[in-house]
C-alpha cells in the first residue's frame, strides 16, 4: 500500500520528489505534487503548473514524448540533466522517474526524484530553466524499453 512511501527511507526523499500526470490529449505535464526542495530551486510552487514550462522550449516535445513512454509501456528512466540558474551559471542534477501504478494497473502519473548536484562555486538553486541532458537511459520494469534513444529531455 501507499503507507510504505511514508516510512524511512522514503520519507526523507519527499522534498526532492515531483509527481506529474501527463496530459494524453495535449502537450503538458501538470504537476500534482512538488517537494519543498524542488519548489525552492524553481523559486515557485509548481503544484498545478505545467512542468514543461521549466524547460527550454525546444526540449519540451521530447520530454513530453518521453513521459508518455514511461506511462504507456510502462518503464522507468534516469538521467543527468543540465539546468541554467537565474545567475546564468549551469547546474547539474540527476533524475530518476517511475510510473505510479495504482490498483487499476493503469499508470497515469510519474514520480520523479530530483537530486541536485551542487558545484563548489554555487549551490544549484533558483533554476531558470532545464536546458538539456548529459546522459540518460531507460529502466526496464519487465515490459521492455523503447527502441528510441534513451531520452530524458535530450
Bridge partners of 132, per DSSP, are: 82
Neighbour count for residue 49 (Cβ, 10 Å): 16
State the burial class of residue 152 (Cβ atoms within 10 Å of its Cβ: 0-12, 13-18, 19+).
Answer: buried
pLDDT of residue 152: 47
Confidence of residue 1 (pLDDT cuts 50, 70, 90): very low
Please say if the pLDDT value at position 21 is more than 90: yes
Radius of gyration of the CA atoms of the chain, in A: 15
pLDDT of residue 64: 92
pLDDT score for 82 = 79
**Residue 150 pLDDT greater than 70, yes or no:** no
Average pLDDT over all residues of the chain: 80
Nearest in space to 55 (alpha carbons), one of 37, 71, 42, 70: 42
Distance CA 50, CA 112 (A): 14
- Please tell me the distance from the alpha carbon of residue 63 to that of residue 149, in angstroms, as a whole number: 12
Is residue 42 predicted with pLDDT exceeding 90? no
Residue with cell 526496464: 140
Amino acid at each position: 500500500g501507499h503507507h510504505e512511501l511514508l516510512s524511512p527511507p522514503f520519507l526523507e526523499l519527499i522534498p526532492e520528489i515531483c509527481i506529474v500526470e501527463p496530459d494524453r490529449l495535449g502537450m503538458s505535464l501538470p504537476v500534482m505534487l512538488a517537494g519543498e526542495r524542488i519548489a525552492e530551486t524553481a523559486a515557485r510552487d509548481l503544484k498545478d503548473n505545467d512542468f514543461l514550462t521549466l524547460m527550454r522550449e525546444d526540449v519540451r516535445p521530447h520530454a513530453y514524448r518521453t513521459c508518455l513512454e514511461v506511462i504507456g509501456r510502462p518503464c522507468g528512466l534516469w538521467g543527468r540533466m543540465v539546468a541554467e540558474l537565474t545567475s546564468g551559471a549551469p547546474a547539474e542534477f540527476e533524475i530518476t522517474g517511475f510510473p505510479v501504478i495504482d490498483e487499476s494497473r493503469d499508470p497515469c502519473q510519474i514520480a520523479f526524484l530530483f537530486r541536485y548536484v551542487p558545484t563548489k562555486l554555487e549551490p544549484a538553486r533558483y533554476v531558470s530553466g532545464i536546458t538539456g541532458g548529459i546522459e540518460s537511459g531507460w529502466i526496464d520494469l519487465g515490459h521492455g524499453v523503447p527502441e528510441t534513444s534513451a531520452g530524458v529531455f535530450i
